[in-house]
A and B are shown apart, each in its own frame.
Chain A
Amino acid sequence: MCPREIVVNEHKLDPILRSDRLPHIWCPGCGLGPAMACFANAIQESGIPVDEHVCVSGIGCTGRVAGYLNVDSFHTTHGRAIPFATGLKLSNPDLHVTVFSGDGDLFAIGGNHMLHAARRNVDLTVICVNNFNYGMTGGQLGPTTPYAAKTTTTPYGNPDGPLNIPHLAAALGAVFVARWTVLHVRQLQKAIAFALQKKGFTFVEVLSPCPIGFGRPNDLGDGLEEMSFYRRQSVVDDQAPLDSLEIDMSKDSTLVLGNFVDRERPVYQPMGTEPPAHRDRSVIYQPADPEVKAREAL
């Protein structure tokens, strides 16, 4: 019989985190931790050296991710994560630039940047954590708040409909569009790993509980109850029509998840310049086989 739990001081993901900053500021039951863990695992799994990864964030709870990951990172001004990331990518095309930000940052104040980066098909990965409100500033109405949902600025219910983010990203020209919740950690990690190695503007929406800002006024309960809601009400359908992906979040509504779009478009390249000679990465995206790993270790 093996011992029960072993108490330690270090996590095995700590090399890729700035562990001196942990515990992070996010509330108990927040989904940002799993989303960041999936991203950190995808970075490790990608085989790309950590030095070549860059994480760019805007402002908000999700914007904190750039500060907690031990990769080169950039905590930018509100909504401007994508322009900073575009500049980074164009000046050093060897970098793998990921924008990790929230729905309010990317689709409200940063909506125009999202629009044009996707249209140009800049080689970026955008991970958008959608918690249906502005969590850090006190749970105000955001562009993804579902219809009739209560927030501090819409105490009688939201009169607007929410943005259908995957539909929008696909319409703008993103070459890979996925949506997962923070409960679907394996699918999310796979989608992020796939997005990291795919050329062009790749987009992953991550649904996340915000128990304090959104869960409490909308009777969704704490983080655990919202995660259970995701487990009960999620339907995985990669072929779902994009215009049916609007989120309701009422008790018996369904959440459609999946990798909706995977297509090819010419990647943004300034006129008169050559695409960078990419190093051969064909071997590094193989799924890790425990047997092969064990053999290599010998």
Chain B
Amino acid sequence: MAGVRQPLEQSVLTTPRGQTYIIPQRCKGCRFCIDFCPKDVLEESTDINSKGYHYPVVSAGKEDACVQCTFCTLVCPEFAIYTEEIEPETL
């Protein structure tokens, strides 16, 4: 497109992708991961865990939105959520 500038290394730049892993039994429902996720990937589950808390789940339609910033991993007080980088090609 005329007039639109592109970064020179555009072809080699990739956006990291993450896969979310959740340990529902550890969650105490503080919502830190849900509210502070920069991509709004997470939402509260409709189910509850054995302690009665709604744990985080990936929202419908946000399956590919995680960019592996690992903020949820760091901010979760219960060690109940983490992400692993996945290859963009496999998507």
Question: Which single member of A19, A28, A183 contacts B53 (CB below 8 Å)?
Answer: A28
Which B residue's beta carbon lies closest to that of A23?
Answer: B26
Q: Are B63 and A2 in contact (CB under 8 A)?
A: yes
Size bin of chain A's contact surface: 35 or more
Q: Are B64 and A1 in contact (CB under 8 A)?
A: yes
Decide if A31 is an interface residue (CB 8 Å cutoff). Answer: yes
Q: Are B64 and A5 in contact (CB under 8 A)?
A: no
Task: Give a binary string over A21-53; 1 marks a CB under 8 Å from any B CB, 0 the rest.
Answer: 011101111111110011001000000000000
Give the A-B contact count at a CB cut-off of 8 A.
109
**Cβ–Cβ < 8 Å partners of A17 in chain B:** 79
Q: Are A2 and B77 in contact (CB under 8 A)?
A: no
Question: Which single member of B36, B51, B71, B77 contacts A26 (CB below 8 Å)?
Answer: B77
Size bin of chain B's contact surface: 35 or more
Question: Which single member of B35, B64, B75 contacts A2 (CB below 8 Å)?
Answer: B64
**Cβ–Cβ < 8 Å partners of A32 in chain B:** 77
19 contacts between A and B (CB under 8 A): A2-B64, A2-B90, A3-B19, A5-B56, A7-B21, A10-B23, A11-B23, A11-B80, A12-B84, A26-B77, A28-B28, A29-B77, A31-B77, A32-B77, A34-B75, A37-B79, A38-B74, A185-B71, A223-B32
* B interface residues (Cβ-Cβ under 8 A, vs A): 17, 19-26, 28-32, 35-36, 51, 53, 56-58, 60, 63-64, 71, 73-80, 82, 84-86, 90-91
* A interface residues (Cβ-Cβ under 8 A, vs B): 1-14, 17, 19, 22-24, 26-34, 37-38, 41, 182-183, 185-186, 189, 222-224, 227-228, 290
